[in-house]
A and B are shown apart, each in its own frame.
Chain A
Amino acid sequence: MHIPDGYLSPSTCLALGAVMIPIWYRASAKLKKDLDVKQVPLLSMGAVFCFLIMMFNVPIPNGTTAHAIGATLVAIIFGPWAAVIAMSVALAIQALVFADGGILAFGANAFNMAFIAPFVGYYVYKSISKNAVPGSTRQLAAGAIAGYIAINCAAFVASIEFGIQPLFFTAADGTPLYCPYGLDVAIPAMMVAHLTVAGFIEGIVTAAALKFMAVQPVTMLQSQINKKEGVV
């Protein structure tokens, strides 16, 4: 899901970065008009938590492993706007320090994983779980479905970003200058992998974490922090 540099044109990266600017602004405004000093540790630890979720190698039945992005889980715990900031910080450090995702493509990665995924996941979860008891089957199913749908929506958006490259950015002799795969190849290639494997991983990890959070005092602590800090 982390798009490296070279696949997207600078104008696509710039456009998606420009789309993210009001989102980041709104996220910081939502977290108390301007980012409050008191929220620095909470958001930093949120970013660390996002990073750690991506470090888990989740076993899948064919013997190999995959990893979740944790966007839905983070959005459920911290709220979607806080998830935007936490995921963006985690993605920035991944791009700069660990070469996971491009520096120029940071705006695109943030749009897919720090905006689309948390928001879709959060609202799907909210609409299914409503007032479900923590740890109940409905709450866990809501988490799993939200995780599955969120990562697939993010993958779909990423596949469109890939697929439009040969339509708009081609040399005079027909050479695609960036990702060579059109929408007819990029969408099925991305979606097959996410609909069959990555989506289930995201859903299972989200539900499994929610199940354990229901039996730990984390939920209480989290709700206290949310109330205190005004996280929505």
Chain B
Amino acid sequence: MNRLDLPAWLQSNDTIRLPAVTHSWKPHNYLEKTLKKIHAILSEDNRSVLNNQDGLLQKLEPHMKVTGLLTVILLAALTQNLVFLIMLNSIILFAALQSRIRLGDYFVRIWLPIFFFTGIAVLPGIINWVTPGDPLYTIYSNLTFSGHFFTLPAELTITRQGVKSALFVILRSAASLGIAMLLIKTTRWSVLTKVLAKYGLSNIIVTILDMTYRYIYLFLFIFMDYVLGRKSRLVGLETQSSKIAWIGGTISDFLRITLEYSQDIQYALESRGYTGIYYAEAKGPLHLIDFGFAAAIIILGCYAYGGINHVWIFSL
């Protein structure tokens, strides 16, 4: 073929810059990060836990379970008792193990984000610059430093109040995350939304929640195909503008697809005579285990507000 017949981009003699080979386990590329995010959601297989009828929380009547677990979240938020929060986190871990949730999964989902996000976020709060109080450990004292824009305080200490405050945030966040995990891993989504409908949430909102939950997974698969398609076709390094252009184009595509889907679903619902009425099942029979669970929640509540306050951690 004559060189002049070639398209301009093929005639170009520019060398293509290839991405540098990295040996890091951590993805750096935005496409890889997005894929990892999608994969993390799609790879969570709840079926083995949900279908395990021997699990502790799987045996509970759903209304009782949802009410009880939401009460525990509220207890964790209201308490001013650190020992209670430590005990509560231990109970949640025990309940997770008894509900056939693997220890590794529990730590990856709860304690890893707690250490890396909440832990780092509250860390500066333990020093006297942020939370003044009784010094637990002095980092430096009697220092005088004064710059043009900044003057260092004479003393830097870790305070008892700061440590307690950080522990409160960490333990409350962990308890809440743990309970959310117990709830979602041991309750089918359809059952959970039926409970919400029974508790007065509008039928239409419950249907929207159900439909959104179902289609999120379908669209994540489509999204994964988009990202994989893009990644497999990339040879050289992308410019920042081409990355942004791809993101903008993909968002626009998704808008088109979601709107098309919404029309199709609407026609499908209408043709099947959908009226918006949502049938929430009546409460199931309560068993001894349900009463035991309710009693445990009441005991926890009593302990949270009338429990032992003079324990070692408060003497910090």
Task: Assess the A57–B256 pair: CB atoms within 8 A.
Answer: no
Task: Assess the B251–A56 pair: CB atoms within 8 A.
Answer: yes
In the complex the two chains form, what is the Cα distance from A13 to B260 in whole Å? 37
Which residues of B are found within 8 Å of A47, using beta-carbon distances? Answer: 208, 212
Task: Assess the B73–A222 pair: CB atoms within 8 A.
Answer: no
Additional A-B contacts beyond A4-B177, A55-B37, A99-B113 (11; CB < 8 A)? A10-B74, A37-B269, A44-B208, A45-B215, A46-B258, A56-B34, A93-B212, A102-B176, A103-B70, A171-B164, A180-B169
| One of B97-105, B130-138, B283-291 contacting the partner | B130-138
0/1 interface trace, chain B 116-128, chain A, CB 8 Å (1 if under): 0010001001000
Chain B interface mostly: helix
* Nearest Cβ on chain A to B26's Cβ, whole angstroms: 11
Given the contacts A41-B211, A46-B258, A173 and B223 also touching, CB distance less than 8 Å: no
Which residues of B are found within 8 Å of A63, using beta-carbon distances? Answer: 28
Task: Assess the A180–B176 pair: CB atoms within 8 A.
Answer: no
Partner of B165, one of A65, A175, A204, A222: A175
- Interface positions of B from 1 to 53, Cβ below 8 Å from A: 28, 30-31, 33-34, 37-38, 41
A interface residues, tally (CB under 8 Å): 76
Which residues of B are found within 8 Å of A173, using beta-carbon distances? Answer: 133, 160-161
Given the contacts A4-B173, A59-B30, A104 and B252 also touching, CB distance less than 8 Å: no
Tell me the total A-B contact number using a CB cutoff of 8 A: 240
Task: Assess the B184–A97 pair: CB atoms within 8 A.
Answer: yes
Task: Assess the A221–B209 pair: CB atoms within 8 A.
Answer: no
In the complex the two chains form, what is the Cα distance from A45 to B276 in whole Å? 17
Asked whether A49 is an interface residue with its Cβ less than 8 Å from the other chain, the reply is yes
| One of B57-65, B142-150, B240-248, B300-308 contacting the partner | B240-248
